[in-house]
Amino acid sequence: MNHKKMVPLLGKEGPFGDAGTYFREEHAGPPNQNVSDEGSGVAGGLAIFAMREPTFVSFAGGLSGIDRYLDLRLNGDEWMALYRQVLRCPDAGQVPRLPNEEIAEWHKRYSGEFQKAIPAYPMLGRIYDVFSYISYASEEIEQLSVECVNLQAATSNEKARSALAKVIAACNEASTLRAGLLFVPD
């Protein structure tokens, strides 16, 4: 398998660069082939950023001021442990696309089903996909943290506990900065 380094999204010092915990590589294989995360068998993950304005548009415009990558990443296997094993959320395959349904409508319907499966955790319910941007405004950080702390106390699944610990750490940092959070698919 031939691997070539690509230019990182935020430069060599950013979370996708050589200096970060991980970096992207160009995969020489069929298009749309999933590459698993560090041998976990689960593709995808979410890099966590503290941002004044946690939106895709703001992120695409570049980080400034207090905005920063928190050196935290929710790995695909941690997401799977938390959402599939602990919370028992539906898999995308369990919500089939209807005939003539636009993909955006299906995403909306799937995210709704996902959130309905965990009504006690509405903030965590937003993270229905490791390939979507998820944002939390600064005023939502405390509720997200409370949900994570409560769930962490109720589970013994180590990967799920690791995921929750990362989100709690991100919430603590965002609270200190008086910022929101943006989960960025990588």
Crossing angle between the packed helical segments 141-154 and 158-177, to the nearest 10 degrees: 160
Count of H-run helices and E-run strands, the chain: 5, 6
Q: Cα(33)–Cα(136) distance, rounded to whole angstroms?
A: 30
User: Could you identify the residue written with the tokens 């570049």?
Assistant: 62
Residue type, 174: A
Q: Which CATH number fits the domain 43-185, given the four candidates 1.10.287, 3.30.70, 3.40.1760, 1.20.1250?
A: 3.40.1760
What is the torsional sign of CA 58, 83, 41, 155?
positive
Domain boundaries, the chain: 1-28, 43-185
pLDDT per position as a tens digit, 125-178: 999 999 999 999 999 999 999 999 999 999 999 999 999 999 999 999 999 999
Average pLDDT over residues 11-34: 36
Average pLDDT taken over every residue of the chain: 83
pLDDT per position as a tens digit, 86-124: 999 998 888 999 999 999 999 999 999 999 999 999 999
